[in-house]
Amino acid sequence: MEKSKQSSAVSAKETEERVESLLKKMSLEEKIAQLNQVSGATFFPGPKGEDIIRKSGAGSILWLNDTKEFNRL
């Protein structure tokens, strides 16, 4: 069991280092875009989710279950 705890600690450290490395590579605009949750539904008024994604990016797309459409965006 002790070995399992050590493996988890190393894995957590490696994960933290990878996250920090990725964050250093991202611009402020990219980091802000990751906070956006865009609607994949067509029944909401306002700009289309696709337009928002293409303009500024998004961290997630809500209400979209079509894998092909998700990948297209």
Structure tokens at 9: 């600690």
What is residue 21's DSSP assignment? Answer: H
Asked whether 57 and 34 are in contact (CB, 8 A), the reply is: yes
Domain ranges across the chain: 1-27, 36-73
Q: For 52-62, write each residue's pLDDT tens digit.
A: 888 988 988 88
Q: Which residues pair with 39 in a beta bridge?
A: 62
Q: For 13-51, write each residue's pLDDT tens digit.
A: 999 999 999 999 999 999 999 999 888 887 878 888 888
